[in-house]
């Protein structure tokens, strides 16, 4: 690996802490020009240490997801709004499957206080969010607990999920490809997500727009398999056309904010 400058090392430390950095913010922090920061980011990108996105960079994401705490701090308000909007699509007195993800956790938070709900999940964080909530029964899937994020994965988890047929699945993903493929990093997690999709009558994908800027190696399925897509910004034209053609209902939090204004 090539040597990196002290400033580039500081940028990498900031990336590991926050998951994403912006050109303008870095330029102000280091008191250098945006052009200098772009050069730093491009050089770090050439070494596959980060992935350039519009206006900044994220950690290189070819084979490994961000650490859980870093992911939890990404797009916090966007995920909260997505969670609220997605929860509004779910009626009282129904059954749910909820998979691993910081955005699905926001849906769980927004669902607290609902009546007559049953949630089955492989996400320990969702269990903690919903446990003790009145009128909300929670079932946790069996399997291997992944220490990085509290996700329960493996063949035992898949077999457990297949016992159920629920009203709604709440699905989070790590990346969305430009062709509409839904992607993740851990094939064990993907198998569980596929089982959740297959065993739900209605499926709600929750994904902030940063997922369109990332890539991951394992395919869960395709956006057109969803009944709803809930996100924070309008989809690129090609993806929106796919969803329209396949009768996928796309809900955008920005649209709701504008309509309330």
pLDDT of residue 210: 85
- What tokens appear for 223 in the block? 């956006």
Mean pLDDT of 11-26: 84
Least confident span in 71-75, 94-98, 195-199, 205-209: 71-75
C-alpha separations of 162 from 143, 191, 192, 199, 204 in Å: 13, 11, 9, 7, 18
In the chain, domain spans: 6-60, 75-260
Least confident span in 62-76, 85-99, 182-196: 62-76
pLDDT digits (tens, 9 = 90+) for 145-164: 987 788 999 999 999 999 99
pLDDT of residue 182: 97
Least confident span in 34-48, 51-65, 99-113: 51-65
Considering the domain delimited by 75-260, tell me its CATH architecture: 3-Layer(aba) Sandwich (3.40)
Considering the domain delimited by 6-60, tell me its CATH architecture: Orthogonal Bundle (1.10)
Residue 141 has pLDDT above 80, yes or no: yes
Task: Please enumerate in sequence order all residues whose Cβ is within 8 A of that of 233, keeping only pairs 6 or more positions apart, or say none.
Answer: 209, 252, 254
Which of 48-57, 68-77, 197-206 reaches the highest mean pLDDT? 197-206
pLDDT of residue 132: 84
Confidence of residue 54 (pLDDT cuts 50, 70, 90): confident
Least confident span in 103-107, 180-184, 254-258: 254-258
Average pLDDT, the chain: 89
pLDDT of residue 256: 52
Mean pLDDT of 29-52: 89
pLDDT digits (tens, 9 = 90+) for 90-119: 999 999 999 999 999 999 999 998 999 999
Least confident span in 22-36, 40-54, 68-82, 150-164: 68-82
Task: Please enumerate in sequence order all residues whose Cβ is within 8 A of that of 218, keeping only pairs 6 or more positions apart, or say none.
Answer: 183, 184, 185, 186, 187, 190
Identify any residues that bridge with 202 across adjacent strands, giving them in sequence order: 168
């Amino acid at each position: 690996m090539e040597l990196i400058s002290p400033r580039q090392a500081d940028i990498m430390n900031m990336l590991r802490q926050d998951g994403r950095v912006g050109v303008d913010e870095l330029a102000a922090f280091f008191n250098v020009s945006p052009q200098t920061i772009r050069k730093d980011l491009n050089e770090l990108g050439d070494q596959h240490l980060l992935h350039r996105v519009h206006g900044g960079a994220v950690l290189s994401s070819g084979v490994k997801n961000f650490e859980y705490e870093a992911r939890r701090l990404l797009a916090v308000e966007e995920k909260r709004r997505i969670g609220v909007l997605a929860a509004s699509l779910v009626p009282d007195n129904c059954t749910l499957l909820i998979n691993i993800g910081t955005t699905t956790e926001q849906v769980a938070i927004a669902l607290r206080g609902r009546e007559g709900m049953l949630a089955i999940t492989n996400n320990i964080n969702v269990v903690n969010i919903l446990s003790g909530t009145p009128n909300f029964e929670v079932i946790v899937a069996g399997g291997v607990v992944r220490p990085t994020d509290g996700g329960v994965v493996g063949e035992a988890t898949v077999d457990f999920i297949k016992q159920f047929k629920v009203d709604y699945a709440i699905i989070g993903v790590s990346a969305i490809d430009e062709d509409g493929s839904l992607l993740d990093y851990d094939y064990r997690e993907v198998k569980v997500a596929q089982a959740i999709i297959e065993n739900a009558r209605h499926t709600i994908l929750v994904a902030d727009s940063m997922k369109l800027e990332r890539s991951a190696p394992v395919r869960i399925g395709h956006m057109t398999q969803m009944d709803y897509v809930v996100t924070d910004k309008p989809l690129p034209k090609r993806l929106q056309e796919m969803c329209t053609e396949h009768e996928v209902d796309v809900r955008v939090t920005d649209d709701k904010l504008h309509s309330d204004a």
